[in-house]
Structure 1
């Protein structure tokens, strides 16, 4: 059994992985660098296999994520993303991210052959699912951080170049103005109609330069101060009011931990109202003795806010009409049927998207997708 094999050989597998990593040119392995990589992945894989031996195997998805590449918050996804960030900070390439997890798969296979350890087909499937999800999350975060750094540097370089250009252009313009004044005082031909036109042109150029400088400052101010805010603080604010509604509805309500470094942008009051409407809808339709779960996490250049309920699933065709005005597909017809419509309009107004994923005979997952912003320096 793979479960017992991993428990008994955890230390040996971690050592073998570090040895494999050390053989790759330019890659120095250490426990500090790999704390969110191989050791943590092994622990999560062991816990996943343990849960899948119980009567509720699907609960393992909260640790290692779903099959098929579906986006969802999981412990393995969070630690894999952190591993991807660490490798980028250390100056490694994206192929190093993939190789770190590939080394573990190879180490498990090699040691299993040496020890003649039999594994079940379902255990191999679990291993492959965990590796797929971990690699995908690590590579996704690595790529996002790399692109974010490159975009920030490009924007800074462009602004500096534009600033130097405007500064030098203004110096040249001052010299031209002085030359024109001298020519005019000296009763040169430029003091006639042609000179008047030239004078107006110089004035307009000066005004254009001043306006360009103001625009550069304003763009930097808007992007740095007005658009971005903390995702964790946003979720905490939404949670405070939602808990009261959940208690009133007799519904269990759970909020997953949110990375405090994540930032989003948009109209905060509108987004709070949108999330409140989605949560109210979940409390309204989720079945007795079940819970509504609120989670928020990063996926590449987007932030996803998921509201998961246990309404029993949607009837056929309901996904297409879910966000239409006055649309009510459930048995509970209280309200005007406008909450989700308003929610979607508010999310779209902030540059995001609101969608619903139906899980037949289980429930719905409403997802707000918004642009992800880098943490302010």
Structure 2
């Protein structure tokens, strides 16, 4: 699966979760509000509910199946009889009147609803479980143990809401107590609430699907625009891989993460290009420098192979020259390997006492050139470096100073504030050579007859710059060359430890 598709799916999933969460919260809030209104109306109905006495006649009972009662409370003394119209004969005349006895019955009456107000159903439950219903009631609310317990407790502060289903209809029921010590149950149907919630659920589902579609469309457009630099980077990488063209660059454009990534990629290509050019130049220079000593050694070896009649002195001289040429070849190969490996950036680093390291290198140089004088003023200090890399750099600088010093000459070494200076009292550096002394295989005109291949200073520069430092060649006042090396210090002189 492509990165664009994964990004699109993740964004769509995030939007879907957000929409679903918002829809669920909205649904629950509306549901709570609607049911809260129902609960408020039930409380209002419960406050106005009253138990009344109505009277019913046997004829009404027969005609209505036992449900024919007069819902109005009659004023004054309770009537016990009622005059009813007589029967009608075959000619259509009414035959007088007749009197029947009325039977009293308790019912629960609710207050008349306001215009547009809620209607409901009520019943009372006595402690013995007897139920008194509303007039014309066709069903009875379920009476549970909790309802009976409420009726028997006679606690008018206790009430609770419940949802019940009667004859397939969902009802919201408030169960409380009345002043007569009975449990009062007031119910309202939830048909309107459920219908409203059903419509709301459909609306939220439609809005959610539409929002998800819009999110997917916008996500596709945003992903295409946002990932354009990534596609360019991919195309550039594939181009470099297929063609080896390190000169190829991409438009960095912008300062965001992708812009910095493109800039870093261009920097990497530039570094690779420079490294490749350096490698090619190193191979070319090494081939040129190796050709001369190899040719000379080959000539001498061929001469020895043919010279069966050579005198012993001549044979020893030629043999000595071959050995010296082979030693030079060994040194040259060692220098080339140091340059190619770039050890200053790969060797393990640690805190190094630069003053002690320099003193050790000076001791070795004094033993190698006993006819020279080495003076040292070394301030204690610590640097973060590769010990072997710095030893090689400082040793090459001392070797260069000793090579250009006259017999009995003085080489001065100073170390202060993280800056190392190596000065000789030789002929100095020609002005035209100051910018080229650190080039690989570069040898000035005055270096003819001097040992070396022009790699020592190049190796020193590579080691110093690999440690984040700088190196500079100048001519000292009064004559002689001076090389200045500056390395970032970790600790000052008073913080250095042995």
TM-score over 0.5 for the alignment? no
Give the number of the structure with larger relative contact order, counting CA–CA contacts within 8 Å between residues 6 or more apart. Answer: 1
Structure with greater proportional helix content: 1
Which structure has the bigger radius of gyration?
A: 2
Alignment TM class, shorter chain as reference: 0.3 to 0.5
As a proportion of its length, which structure holds more strand? 2
